[in-house]
Amino acid sequence: MIKTNERTFLLSTKETALLLRVNEADKLVCDHYGRLIDEGDLKSCAVPTGMPTGRTIIYDEKKSAKLALPLMQSEFSTPFKSDDLSPMIELYAEKGRVFDFIYDSYEIRDFVPMEGYPNPHGADQELVIKCKDEKMGAELHLHYVVFEDSDVIGKFIRIVNVGEEDIELRRAYSSQFSLQNEGYIIHGSFGNWAGEFQRNETKIGHFRYEFGSDSGSSGDQHNPFFMLKRPDTSLHTGIAYGFNLIYSGSHRVCVEMEPYGMIRVQQGISPSGFEKVLHKGESFLTPMAVLTFTHHGLNGVSHHMHDFVNKHIIPEQFAYKPRPIAFNNWEGTYAKFTEGKLKSLAKKAADLGCELFVLDDGWFGHRDDDASSLGDWTVYKKKLPHGIEGIADYVHKLGLKFGLWFEPEMISPDSELMKAHPEWAVTDGIHEPSLGRNQLLIDLTKAEVRDYLFECLDTHLKTGVIDFIKWDYNRTFSDLPRNGAFCHDYILGLYDLVGRITKAYPNVLFENCASGGGRNDLGMFCYFPQGWVSDDTDALERCKIQTEMAFGYPPSVMSNHVSAKTNHQMLRKTGFGTKFDIACMGILGYEMDVNDLDSVDEKAIKEQIEFYKENRNTLQFGTYMLLDTFDHDRQIVEMADGECALVTYVNYVQTPHSGNERLPVTGLIPDATYEYSVRKEVHSLKTFGSLVNQQTPFHVKEEGAIVNFLSRRMSLDAEALHGEAKGATLNAGGLQIGRQWTGTGYDDTTRILLDFGARIYIFKVKK
Ligand code: DGJ
């Protein structure tokens, strides 16, 4: 809800309020962004002006003898008029470079979709505040979009050239927000291929901090999502702000603390390599920044962000719709497959209970490895003699949906497309362009390139046999052409292409991918409802990545696959039980040679899939709560949905004599009686090494033929746990889950988790 008395604007959501004010100098400032406030008390929130000290420059003596630009909690800033903190907007005209916008008018209206950008849906209201610099012929429109139910405010700006002269735009962030320092810590992420979303924290000092991506995509180095938290903020309590950007290109965050302790936070398109000329009458619109506030700790931020993504970002036709369990052939075969091999994998995937078969890279041109054919989106007949339709029909007859991998934004130097259109590859026209994964970027700023790619995709999709597309993107930008804002124009081209194709095929489910999680952002999720989280499918690494990502993104967008026991990225060995327990917190899939499974593993995987189907709603759309972290040698996550709560416990390294442990649970219905249990797991005979000799009548060798033979056919049941208790009791005292194995003594309550092992505890209301 937006309320105004002409010079103050109070934007309220369910639990938060943003208070804006036009001050005596006609500048727009933020007096409060935090918990709800009473509209009768706005004066007490007004940030006082104070006496300017020393050699402070007074902005406009006639309006106020006190006000200085860098001391205001301004909603925007420009350089060269005494505000020497990081500028939000940088403009240059032939006649000058001081742009001094002052308040002009406002409008409250229904949200008007932003042209060229992905748009969130279901917004409540929009406030547009117009500021002008008449002398320079420029207007600045500040937009505030309220998403009441999710406690989110969207912010973006438009800069309009209303004068005669050209204006050059060199920086245009989407949001500037100021707050007073209370010991804030930036909590964001850093990352790389196979190591996305690593936790990254720093206490804010009197510096300017800048992070983001200049790689052309939102990237895995620094996802646009980050938080500011106070030192006393915990998982469940305390103040925290969450920030994100609905944008998929190079982006930047700037956090700066000025000498008096005011913190300025800016988010938007990266200014590096960004220049736009606005001719008379033209305007530039920034993407939308997303802000939230909570006093319920870091889980509070994630609840707001999850709600926002599920309700307002994901295309409406996929919102809260169950996602299928995939089988993907990539780590099972890589590009080395035949039609026969794919069929045998599909058959086994169907037997196991999977619902979607995804044919990954290697099906087109003459692609046998990653050095060829991108751009030639015609079937590789040697591998697939019956074409895509042949394999898709086979898959459909098994009762599975069929998915296909594409990497439309790339071109291989050896491709037929390159021969026909060398000018479509991105180069500066001077240097030999650098290759990344043996490929070049294709220029999506060109309409004819987008038309070609639309046609390639359309040719396959119109056969009607494709239910799912995995859209990959495996290199970053280099050799950029000179023109002003190439990276940004590329992203607008990408939005045009993905917008057209998803509109033409609204029921095809798209999965976003960029060498794993190199472009998982709110922009892409507006078109593609889910994203491949990382090429690292190791259980422990994936657990860390998923947990950090979950502060900003819900499990319903996270595609996670169970892969081979010896992980290909880390060479770490982990049992399928643990791999499942981690992969199931989101959208489950399998990615390995399932024909190599022994009967023990096959049975276990069938049980996992049954379990997932029974609990899919909770695991994809339930309320997510991080209850403990590896800071305490265990990570505990609860996913709860009405009468069911699933709590995943992940051990860090095993230590001797771990002691009794209490599993925290939260949010259960106090009066209801819950039945609790642990998801059934088994131990391989090999787990016990030469200790098996204590149970066998004859001597067996560790890793010897007998153990190998037996372990493919039989296993030992892991610990069991059953009982019931009132929700109130469990909320208060948690659940006692006993000790872990240390050396001797083993009964049906001893937890044998080993390093990085996991369990899922189940709480269901008794019928
Ligand atoms: C990178 C993706 O992240 C993988 O899952 C796989 O699709 C490969 N590309 C295929 O080249």
Q: For residues 738 and 753, what is the distance between their CA atoms, to the nearest angstrom? A: 12
Residues paired with residue 133 on neighbouring β-strands, in sequence order = 138
Using DSSP, state whether 581 is helix, strand or coil: helix
Over residues 669-725, the pLDDT tens digits come to 999 999 999 999 999 989 999 998 888 889 999 989 999 999 999 999 999 999 999
464-494 pLDDT, tens digit each: 999 999 999 999 999 999 888 999 999 999 9
- List the structure tokens of 687: 């787990």
Q: Which residues contact 611 (CB under 8 A, 6 or more apart)?
A: 584, 679
Atom of ligand 1 nearest to the CA of 516: 3
Atom of ligand 1 nearest to the CA of 360: 7
Query: Measured in angstroms, how far is the CA atom of residue 470 from the centroid of ligand 1?
Result: 9
pLDDT digits (tens, 9 = 90+) for 333-359: 999 999 999 999 999 999 999 999 999
Residue 179 C-alpha from the chain's centroid: 26
Q: What share of the chain is helix, strand, coil (3-state, %, to 5)?
A: 25, 30, 45
What pLDDT was estimated at residue 738? 87
Nearest-atom index, ligand 1, CA of 514? 3
Residue 6 has a pLDDT of 83
Map out the domains of the chain with their CATH numbers: 2-313 (2.70.98.60), 641-765 (no CATH)
Residue 552 to residue 22: CA distance in whole angstroms: 32
Rounded to an integer, the average pLDDT of 401-417 is: 98
**Closest Cα partner for 267 from 182, 157, 384?**
157
Q: Edge-to-edge strand order for the sheet containing 673-678?
A: 623-628, 634-641, 644-651, 758-765, 673-678, 722-726
Pocket of ligand 1 (CB under 6 A): 330, 360-361, 405, 472, 474, 513, 515-516, 532, 535
Give the C-alpha separation, 495 to 575, whole Å.
40
Confirm if 473 and 518 have CB atoms less than 8 A apart.
yes
| pLDDT higher than threshold 90 for residue 749 | no
pLDDT score of 744 more than 80:
no
**Residue 473 Cα to ligand 1 middle (Å):** 8
The pLDDT mean for the chain works out to 96
Ligand 1 atom closest to 532 (CA) = 3
Tens of pLDDT, residues 176-232: 999 999 999 999 999 999 999 999 999 999 999 999 999 999 999 999 999 999 999
Cα 563 to middle of ligand 1, angstroms = 14
Distance 516 CA to ligand 1 centre (A): 7
* Residue bearing the CA closest to ligand 1, atom 2: 515
Q: Does position 91 have pLDDT exceeding 90, yes or no?
A: yes
| β-pair partners for 587 | 559
Structure letter (DSSP) for residue 310: I
Q: Which residues contact 645 (CB under 8 A, 6 or more apart)?
A: 618, 622, 638, 639, 665, 667, 668, 674, 762, 763
Q: What is the mean pLDDT of residues 373-387?
A: 98
Q: In which residue are the tokens 């002003």 written?
A: 484
Query: How far is it, in rounded angstroms, from Cα 692 to Cα 686?
Result: 8
The 3-class SS string of 605-670 reads: HHHHHHHHHHHHHHHHHCEEEEEECHHHCEEEEEEEECCEEEEEEEECCCCCCCCCCEECCCCCCC
Average pLDDT over residues 718-734: 96
Q: Residue 743 has what pLDDT?
A: 85
Atom of ligand 1 nearest to the CA of 470: 7
Identify the pLDDT of residue 49.
Answer: 79
Q: How far is the CA of 755 from the centre of ligand 1 (A)?
A: 28
Residue 139, SS3 per DSSP: strand
Centre of ligand 1 to C-alpha 80, Å, is: 47
> How many A from CA of 560 to the centre of ligand 1?
13
DSSP 677-740: EE---EEEGGGGGGGGGGT-SS---TTSHHHHHHHTT-EEE----EEEEEHHHHHHH-EE--PB
Report the nearest-CA residue for atom 11 of ligand 1.
Answer: 361
Count the neighbouring beta carbons within 10 Å of the beta carbon of residue 69: 21
Section 149-175 average pLDDT: 98
Q: Which of 337, 515, 520 to mutate to test the pocket of ligand 1 (most atoms within 8 A of CB)?
A: 515
Query: Is residue 199 classed as helix, strand or coil in its secondary structure?
Result: strand
361 CA → ligand 1 middle, Å: 7
**Which residue CA neighbors atom 10 of ligand 1 most closely?**
361
* Candidate from 196, 217, 330, 512 with most ligand 1 atoms within 8 A of CB, to mutate: 330
Question: Is the per-residue pLDDT at 54 higher than 90?
Answer: no
What's the confidence (pLDDT) of residue 330? 98
pLDDT of residue 695: 84
- 392, amino acid identity: A
Separation between Cα atoms, residue 17 and residue 9, nearest integer Å? 10
pTM: 0.97
Query: Residue 475's closest CA among 439, 521, 524?
Result: 439
Active site residues: 472, 535
Mean pLDDT of 60-69: 91
Ligand 1 pocket test: pick from 337, 474, 519, 561 the residue with the most ligand atoms within 8 Å of its Cβ: 474
Question: How far is the C-alpha of 14 from the C-alpha of 151, rounded, in Å?
Answer: 6
CA 397/CA 389 separation, integer angstroms: 12
The pLDDT value given to residue 746: 76
Ligand 1 centroid to residue 404 C-alpha, Å? 12
Residue to mutate (ligand 1; options 360, 369, 536, 559; most atoms within 8 A of CB): 360
pLDDT over threshold 90, residue 50: no
Output the residue whose Cα is nearest ligand 1's atom 1.
515
Find out whether 533 and 554 touch, Cβ atoms under 8 Å.
Answer: no
